[in-house]
Chains A and B, each alone.
Chain A
Amino acid sequence: MAAVTLLEARGLTRHFDGLKAVDGVDFDLHQGEIHALIGPNGAGKTTFVSLLSGRIPVQSGTIRFSGRDITHLPAHARVRLGIAYTFQITQVYGALTVFDNVALAVQSRHSHRLRDDAMAALTRVGLQDRADQTAGTLSYGHQRLLEVAMGLGLDPKLLILDEPTQGLAQGEIETFKDIVRGVVPAATVLLIEHNMDVVMDLAQRITVLNFGEVLATGTPEAIRADKAVQTAYLGG
């Protein structure tokens, strides 16, 4: 089966004062896949997805999305093209209601069915009964789910999830895995994740970053068997 490329990064680079946070990364995302991005702390994962989402400007290299060069497009314009980013540290609007949080995502794409679409996104993460609650009063786990619902509300082609299961209880992680499985193949998921059980369960392909460079890309089985990966993780 020939995979259709949704996103293609070539030679992507970003240094911070000599620290090579991301250094010449080539990276392809296939349409409809769940792709996990793993690597030791400080490997450059968050910087890398920040370059993809436009939160940090690219130093050199190119990014193409759906066949279009988006290297120099500002972040908000990339969101409009269909790249949704959910924050590693939960950033819901604490003073607004749960409904308003998701409505902000839905109305960003000029939906004519604001209420229906917002409630649909909330239903997908199971928060439909809390629509009128103030977001800041939700439990941490529910705030993480709301963050995901905001991503879904954008109806993205690519959903970037930055450590979504961090701090969640085991039961919540199972819920979360079901949600992510429901997103593909209509959309594509790029998942930064430390929890290896989640990665091995969900991902069709995995890319390993280390010191800002790609160490390996492949199926979960191939990554598990990769000597270089084992060395990087186990310090062997």
Chain B
Amino acid sequence: MTVDRALFLHLGLIAALLAFHFVAPAYHHTNIARIMVLAIYAMGYNIAFGYTGLLSLGHALFFGSGLYAAGLLAYHADGTAGIGLIAGLLAGGAVAFALGLFALRTAGVAFMIVTLMFAQAGYLTVLYFGSYTRGDEGIVIPKAGRMLASLDLSDDNTRYLVALALFAVALLVNLWLARSPRGRIMVAMRENEERSRMLGYNPYTVKLTALTISGLYAGLSGAAYALMFGYAGASLASVQYSILPLLYVLLGGAGTVIGPFLGALLMFYLIDYASSITDAHQFVTGVALVLLILFAPKGILGTIRERGLKWLP
């Protein structure tokens, strides 16, 4: 029996995040909770982009679907957090599936543009129905709506632990998927679509499945974000939120399981640090990305995998 190094590494990350809960200063404690939720989103993005090769610019639509599914239910229908999380998960998956039905008839640049347009349409829909969504101003989710059974998600400690639980499940499912036969087919589709077709795989259904799984992740993350931080606003469904997971994934390493978390962590603190020393913090992140593309186009973990840790999933 060989030691499953990859499983140990991922369980180790979860354990480290749990340990951090007990020692972290309050400021970083909140940050890491937010990063874990965003990392779920980035993992979902990575399943479409990193593993299957679908470069989408419209994932904010799936994130926003989860965000508003949970937010509107809590705000208008007195929904609780449990219902909100499930609704967000399903909304993200359903919207991704529906978008995929159309958008996956295209590929490459056309796919980028079609997904971008759909997401913009979603963003404008949020603004259009301002009487329900309160548009840019957004809705503040009532405390009752942030109760997960007896757990109060507005409490810092509870929030961190629930975020960690969701993150852990998302991470392990991602690890399982990446090492499963289906994960291999997704990678095959990314590497050579025509070859995969001639091995009996329907590119359309493989990509539609991957995009739907990706949407489930994004929707869950969106719902968790709304419920944990108590707010759902249109800016969280804007194009910026389509680009963020792409940056996280590129930084951490596309097609690696931990890459999205690592990318979200570093990017978050890079922006945080840059904004503390200069108003031009976007310039700093821009420079960081240019350096990344020039010197480590496969991201941090992608480069490490290439240089020796070949077993890294």
Contacts and interface: CB of A to CB of B under 8 A. Distances in A.
A59 interface: no
B181 A96 contact: no
A58 to B, nearest CB: 17
A104 B199 contact: yes
Interface in A30-77: 53, 55, 74-77
Nearest to B185: A104
Given A93-B191, A154-B200, 6 more contacts: A76-B203, A93-B187, A93-B195, A96-B187, A107-B181, A154-B199
22 contacts: A53-B198, A74-B202, A75-B198, A76-B197, A76-B200, A76-B201, A76-B203, A77-B202, A79-B200, A85-B198, A91-B195, A92-B195, A93-B187, A95-B191, A96-B188, A103-B181, A105-B199, A107-B181, A108-B199, A108-B201, A109-B200, A150-B199
Interface centre among A87, A105, A108, by most chain B C-beta atoms within 10 angstroms, is: A108
Interface string B196-212: 11111111000000000
Nearest to B205: A76
B155 interface: no
Nearest to A81: B200
Interface string B178-193: 0001001101100110
A93 B192 contact: yes
A179 interface: no
Contacts of B194: 55, 91
A19 B188 CA distance: 34
A80 interface: yes
A154 B199 CA distance: 7
B195 A87 contact: yes
Contacts of A87: 195, 198
Contacts of A75: 197-198
Nearest to B182: A107
Interface size class of A (residues with CB under 8 A): 20 to 34
A212 B131 CA distance: 67
Nearest to A95: B191
B188 A104 contact: yes
Interface of A: 53, 55, 74-77, 79-80, 84-85, 87, 91-96, 100, 103-105, 107-109, 114, 150, 154
Nearest to A97: B310
A100 B200 contact: no
A156 B199 CA distance: 11
B279 to A, nearest CB: 42
A94 B196 CA distance: 13
A79 B199 contact: yes
Given A104-B184, A104-B185, A107-B181, A96 B191 contact: yes
Contacts of B203: 76
A96 B201 CA distance: 17
A161 to B, nearest CB: 13
B195 A80 contact: no
Nearest to A132: B310
Nearest to B198: A85
A92 B192 CA distance: 9
B290 to A, nearest CB: 25
A156 B302 CA distance: 36
A79 B198 contact: yes
A78 B192 CA distance: 19
A107 B201 CA distance: 10
A76 B207 CA distance: 14
Contacts of B191: 93-96
A100 B187 CA distance: 10
B197 to A, nearest CB: 5
B178 to A, nearest CB: 12
B184 A107 contact: yes
A210 B187 CA distance: 40
B245 to A, nearest CB: 23
B198 A55 contact: yes
B184 A100 contact: yes
Nearest to B195: A91
Contacts of A91: 192, 194-195
Given A93-B188, A114-B181, A104 B202 contact: no
A80 B200 contact: yes
A161 B191 CA distance: 22
